[in-house]
Chains A and B, each alone.
Chain A
Amino acid sequence: MKLAYWPGCVSRGFTPELHGSMALVAPKLGLELVELDRASCCGAGVIAEHNQELADTLNARTFALAQGVDGAAGMMNICSTCQGAQSECQERLDADSGYRDHINGTLSDQGLTYEKSGEWWNKNFMWLLVEEIGLDKLAAKVVRPLEGLRIAPFYGCYIVRPTHRLGFEAHPNRHKYLDHLIEILGAESVSYAGSHKCCGFPVITMNRATSLRQAGRHLADAIDAGADCLVTPCPLCHLNLDMQQPDAAKFVERDLDVPVLHLPQMVGLALGLEPKELGMDKHVVKTKDVQVKVAEVAAA
């Protein structure tokens, strides 16, 4: 399957292990990724907060670039925040032809137009795995079932709310996909209070206590529920849950020390890739215990 691919900023900035692991996982799944190297940041909701039309135009440009990729089935992203921010812009662009024409007018001298179409889609890797590839096909590709691993799914906000904007009418189980993926790859999905709550990242520069109390609380809940690690489809969640984890521990006044995987890393492990190639040595919280468990499966 050929895809227009939008990796986002953070996957190429502070979480390069995400971009790298996606590049290795794609061919294993038969995905041909055409990277949109001219596309700009989705705005992460912050540009829209400043000027909605600016965010809508920048994303309309990204969509137009994606629609221009010959033979692509659709567009894929690997960041929940991109998904949420882009879905919000797309909702407005699709809702009103007058508005859409106005935005396309701004893009016209670049030779770009965003075409509204019921066929075209922009899907996060998590949605794509379940809806375009299919759990049964994915299961058939597993060479190293992640048996014995207890993984806590961390969905974050942007990919589960608001449901009316995020296609839940057509796909009512989108809030369960991470659980399904964890289980189809052979691991056990851990249920805990924070799985669909906020990592706190959006206010890390504005209110550090609010931000890190959220991250710390969810990590602690996952640990108490017996998780060996967490997995998330969002690199911004990863920043707060992994990179900031030592500070989050101070805000909730307890030890944390639980590794957090990116979704493509978890998939990659089950497809036989090695932790090192998946960048699992580049986390702030060491992933050694997870690596040991995975190695045990391979040896068994």
Chain B
Amino acid sequence: MSILDKILGRDEEPADGDGPKNEAAGYTLKIRRYDPESGETAFWHEYDVDIAPERSVLDGILYAKDHEDASIGIRCSCRAAICGSCGVRINGKSALACNTRISDAQAKAGRGKPIVVEPMGNMPVLKDLIVDMDAVHWKKIQRVVPWLLPDGEPPEREYIVPAESMIDVTQSMACIQCGVCVSACLSLEVDPEFVGPAALAKAYRFVGDPRDGQTEERLRDLAEDPHGMYDCTHCFACIEVCPKDVAPMDQIMRLRRRATGDYEIKDKNNGYGHGKAFVDMIENWGTLHEAQMLPRSFGDGSMIKGQTEPGAVKQLVEALPTAIRGLKSGKVTPKAVLFHPKLPDQDNVRKIYKAIESQGERLELNLYIVADNSADEEGAMAEGTKEGLA
């Protein structure tokens, strides 16, 4: 057996076709059990379940409950990815148990290996597969004031808004509050205070709502909070796992776009400064001038402010050891710190900036709304893809 065959798994038993098709088939679920009242630590237990391949992992768990141990704790109701109560981790990936086919889970686990089912991450476990959503998820949702705050006297009847103006928030409205993104979030893993993907997506639902009167206040609040919109590390984990394509990270980026582009909120977390520094540098040079990144970021995007304002200078001094290490290791030369070449045709890059700025509005192609037209190639841009400027 060559090492290549081994790496590519060619040494494994040949498959019987693609495994069992329609009749009931055998799967093994390895479930993490924990009961705080027992006084015992968590443990793993394997359950054999005989269900058809097209059934869900939730069906598998319920089978184990019915046939082997009725005490297995799992929350569920709709069994159709609507109620949002059956979030778990399957082979390490956060997902709805009712929305994951057991044969797909088996394929991910690998042939002959058990399907590993654990409670969601980033939330305390109450029992077995049930986590404390109140302690984390719902608390964070509350944090962003998840209701409309309209200005002025309420109208006599309902608020009337043109349908097009709500398109922008339809994606965030699709959320079923399952907490699967919260479970997967890699910033939350190291910073439990992070407001998190679900709550920030919810925040955008109101920031983007034309009836809300507190848009700027909401943005300022989440921009200034050290655990707010600038604490998301852009890891795509929430986009990857969300069963409803809410793409929470994209909603967070839209919050940032509004905060910096529309309201110029110069937050103390350097979110505004970092974005502005980056965008301006590419306009100047075409490529990143890393040595100017920090001073510009700390100075709301300005090099001068970054080297003179007390707050900015303090942060620069804190970052100094890193810069010195870079110089000492020989990877960064003093010349490179001081001088950064422009692209040979930087004028063409500038032209693009000018052309787009002169449009006076930001164009956003949201594939959730316009869908992928690549197949029919008709594709005129759908109405409502233009993010209005406030």
Chain B residues with Cβ under 8 A from A213's Cβ?
A: 190-191
Q: Distance in Å from the Cβ of A40 to the closest Cβ of chain B?
A: 4
A44 interface residue (CB < 8 Å to B): yes
B171 interface residue (CB < 8 Å to A): no
Interface residues on A, range: 35 or more
Contact in complex: A203, B331 (CB < 8 Å): no
Question: Which of these binds chain A: B57-65, B82-90, B283-291?
Answer: B283-291
Set A53, A97, A139: member contacting B363, Cβ < 8 A: A53
Contact in complex: A284, B191 (CB < 8 Å): no
Chain B residues with Cβ under 8 A from A247's Cβ?
A: 321-322
Q: Distance in Å from the Cβ of B352 to the closest Cβ of chain A?
A: 5
Contact in complex: A284, B351 (CB < 8 Å): no
Q: Distance in Å from the Cβ of A227 to the closest Cβ of chain B?
A: 19
Cα–Cα distance between A109 and B348 once the two chains are bound (Å) = 9
Contact in complex: B331, A161 (CB < 8 Å): no
Cα–Cα distance between A135 and B4 once the two chains are bound (Å) = 7
Chain A residues with Cβ under 8 A from B270's Cβ?
A: 205-206
Contact in complex: A54, B352 (CB < 8 Å): yes
> Which residue of A12, A102, A158, A198 has the most chain B CB atoms within 10 A of its CB atom?
A198
Q: A40-B343, A94-B374, A282-B329 are in contact. Are A205 and B274 (CB under 8 A)?
A: yes
Those of B274-302 within 8 Å (CB) of chain A? 274-276, 278-279, 282, 286-290, 293-294, 297-298
Question: Which of these binds chain A: B16-24, B39-47, B146-154, B232-240?
Answer: B232-240
B103 interface residue (CB < 8 Å to A): no
Residue-by-residue, is A50-69 near B (CB-CB < 8 Å gives 1, otherwise 0)? 11111011100100000000
Chain B residues with Cβ under 8 A from A13's Cβ?
A: 287-290, 332, 336
Contact in complex: B290, A61 (CB < 8 Å): no
Q: Distance in Å from the Cβ of B332 to the closest Cβ of chain A?
A: 6
Cα–Cα distance between A157 and B226 once the two chains are bound (Å) = 22
Q: Distance in Å from the Cβ of B202 to the closest Cβ of chain A?
A: 19
Cα–Cα distance between A9 and B340 once the two chains are bound (Å) = 11
Cα–Cα distance between A210 and B289 once the two chains are bound (Å) = 24
Contact in complex: A184, B3 (CB < 8 Å): yes
Contact in complex: A98, B363 (CB < 8 Å): no
B365 interface residue (CB < 8 Å to A): yes
Contact in complex: A210, B261 (CB < 8 Å): no
Contact in complex: B233, A210 (CB < 8 Å): yes
Those of B283-335 within 8 Å (CB) of chain A? 286-290, 293-294, 297-298, 318, 321-322, 325-326, 329-332
Cα–Cα distance between A47 and B349 once the two chains are bound (Å) = 13
Q: A13-B336, A95-B374 are in contact. Are A158 and B298 (CB under 8 A)?
A: no
Closest to B364 in A: A52
Contact in complex: B282, A98 (CB < 8 Å): no
Chain B residues with Cβ under 8 A from A179's Cβ?
A: 7
**How would you classify the secondary structure of chain A's contact residues: helix, strand, loop or mixed?**
helix
Question: Which of these binds chain B: A14-22, A24-32, A121-129, A288-296?
Answer: A14-22
Question: Which of these binds chain A: B158-166, B209-217, B377-385?
Answer: B377-385
B1 interface residue (CB < 8 Å to A): no
Residue-by-residue, is A92-108 near B (CB-CB < 8 Å gives 1, otherwise 0)? 10111111101000110
B257 interface residue (CB < 8 Å to A): yes
How many chain B residues have a CB neighbour from A under 8 Å? 82
Set A37, A84, A210: member contacting B344, Cβ < 8 A: A37
Q: Distance in Å from the Cβ of A190 to the closest Cβ of chain B?
A: 15
B390 interface residue (CB < 8 Å to A): no
B125 interface residue (CB < 8 Å to A): no
Closest to A16 in B: B331
B338 interface residue (CB < 8 Å to A): no
Cα–Cα distance between A243 and B261 once the two chains are bound (Å) = 32
Those of A156-209 within 8 Å (CB) of chain B? 157-158, 161-163, 179-180, 183-184, 197-198, 200-203, 205-209
Q: Distance in Å from the Cβ of B334 to the closest Cβ of chain A?
A: 14
Contact in complex: B362, A53 (CB < 8 Å): yes
Contact in complex: B356, A184 (CB < 8 Å): no
Cα–Cα distance between A16 and B3 once the two chains are bound (Å) = 33
Those of A226-259 within 8 Å (CB) of chain B? 243-244, 246-247
Contact in complex: B362, A41 (CB < 8 Å): no
Cα–Cα distance between A100 and B365 once the two chains are bound (Å) = 10
Chain B residues with Cβ under 8 A from A153's Cβ?
A: none
Contact in complex: B365, A92 (CB < 8 Å): yes
Q: A52-B363, A92-B367 are in contact. Are A207 and B226 (CB under 8 A)?
A: yes
Chain B residues with Cβ under 8 A from A277's Cβ?
A: none
Contact in complex: A38, B329 (CB < 8 Å): no
Cα–Cα distance between A202 and B256 once the two chains are bound (Å) = 14
Q: Distance in Å from the Cβ of A101 to the closest Cβ of chain B?
A: 9
Cα–Cα distance between A148 and B134 once the two chains are bound (Å) = 49
Residue-by-residue, is A258-300 near B (CB-CB < 8 Å gives 1, otherwise 0)? 0000000000000000000001011110000000000000000
Cα–Cα distance between A96 and B94 once the two chains are bound (Å) = 31
Chain B residues with Cβ under 8 A from A136's Cβ?
A: 4
Cα–Cα distance between A244 and B364 once the two chains are bound (Å) = 35
B370 interface residue (CB < 8 Å to A): yes
B138 interface residue (CB < 8 Å to A): no
Q: A97-B373, A139-B3, A210-B187 are in contact. Are A49 and B253 (CB under 8 A)?
A: yes
Chain A residues with Cβ under 8 A from B236's Cβ?
A: 84, 157-158, 161-162
Contact in complex: A210, B362 (CB < 8 Å): no
Contact in complex: B356, A46 (CB < 8 Å): no
A10 interface residue (CB < 8 Å to B): yes
Between A and B, 10 residue pairs with Cβ closer than 8 Å are A40-B282, A50-B279, A95-B370, A96-B379, A98-B379, A109-B351, A116-B374, A197-B186, A213-B190, A282-B329
Name 15 extra pairs, CB < 8 A, besides A95-B367, A109-B351, A162-B240.
A41-B287, A43-B278, A47-B278, A49-B257, A50-B275, A57-B352, A61-B352, A96-B374, A99-B379, A157-B236, A205-B294, A206-B269, A207-B269, A214-B187, A246-B325
